[in-house]
Amino acid sequence: MQRTLLFSDARCLAHETPYDHPESPRRLGAILDSLHAAPVDGAAWASFRPATREELLLVHRPEYVDAILALRGRTFRLDPDTWLSSGSVDAALLAAGASIEAVRALCEGKATTAFALVRPPGHHAEPDRAMGFCVFNNAAIAAAAARAQFGCERILLVDWDVHHGNGSQRAFWTRPDVLYFSTHRAPPFYPRTGRLEEVGEGLGRGYTVNLPLPAGTGDDDFVALYQALLVPIAADFRPDLVVVSAGFDAHRDDPLGGMRMTAAGFEALAAIVRGIADRHADGRLLLVLEGGYDLDALVDGVRTCLETMCAEQVEPPPPAAPGDPARRILEAARALHAAYWPSLRAVETAPPPG
């Protein structure tokens, strides 16, 4: 079995955005150039097909899907930030198809981990509208396909992009089979959703976990939150697949994010989600590319995650001590979510070092 499969297609570069738009083809171009020039041991390229209309309907409404398909080959502005060029609809179909086929490869035992290196990104796309550079919600479609087509019962969808994945949250808001866990810059930052109190509704109550964070949040804060909250929640949820909306715009060099993460922080988060996948899901871990607008930070982040996915064995990062703002969010989130997740009741906060 292949350790890691990479799903990408040069046609994703044909989704063109206006001059100076942060989500430019150069982002994915830089990643592909880097991985071709210096391949990561254990990672191989997979071939795949575009998503079908039926598959898009796992998350999106038929009127929306048909409206997008009718724009194939045309230039169109879908929302203030989201544009279609002549190649965009095909790129979006490939981005969703890559994510679905990556899940198939994991569930059919062809690979242990996979990375969908695609654009346009997806996590802002709601069931009935495009938003925030996103057309189809690739990661949400992957999670829904895992459930509907590939026999998974519980999918953990982690989102470490600096923006809240409003579309993913909405897709699974009332569902207990997909647990959405997001760290992001707090509202009113774009897209103005993702408050702590947003926990899902109906059968899905408790299956949405939002950790809104202030500007300047750094590696130790993120790692501490994932260790103290995601790891115990995952132990209770016992996912059989882990999907990550992997954005790299919480990096300190990102022009949009305002956070202070480094490549070492992304490596630690990758090690944590890999540990969860290894423990509960036979290793099945899929990363789907979302944002990240500083090219060097983006390429480094993708590479460090990929190396962590490809490694024979990965040690969990040492316990991290959050700063005061992150600690306050951690305590508030633990108090709120302890109602849904028994493991949070047993876990005490690690004392600060020294």
Question: What is the set of active-site residues?
Answer: 124
Query: Nearer Cβ to Zn ion, position 80 or 354?
Result: 80
**Cα dihedral 320, 323, 326, 330 sign:** positive
CB 212 within 8 A of CB 188: no
Quote the strand ranges of 89-167, DSSP E.
111-116, 155-159
Distances (CA, A) of 351 to 182, 197, 224, 319, 326: 24, 26, 12, 10, 14
Pick the piece of the chain touching Zn ion (CB under 5 A) from 33-41, 89-97, 244-252, 334-342.
244-252
Among 194, 247, 275, 322, binds Zn ion (CB under 5 A): 247
Q: How far is the CB of 261 from Zn ion (least distance, A)?
A: 12
* Residue 294 makes contact with Zn ion by CB under 5 A: no
As a whole number of Å, the CA-based R_g of the chain is: 18
Tokens encoding 24: 């430019």
* Residue 161 makes contact with Zn ion by CB under 5 A: yes
Cβ contacts of 94 within 8 Å, gap of 6 or more? 9, 11, 12, 48, 50, 51, 118
CB 133 within 8 A of CB 122: no
* Residue 249 makes contact with Zn ion by CB under 5 A: yes
Query: Nearer Cβ to Zn ion, position 239 or 291?
Result: 291
Pick the piece of the chain touching Zn ion (CB under 5 A) from 44-52, 133-141, 196-204, 284-292.
284-292
Query: Nearer Cβ to Zn ion, position 31 or 228?
Result: 31
* Residue 194 makes contact with Zn ion by CB under 5 A: no
Pick the piece of the chain touching Zn ion (CB under 5 A) from 37-45, 287-295, 313-321, 343-351.
287-295
* Residue 240 makes contact with Zn ion by CB under 5 A: no
Q: How far is the CB of 256 from Zn ion (least distance, A)?
A: 7
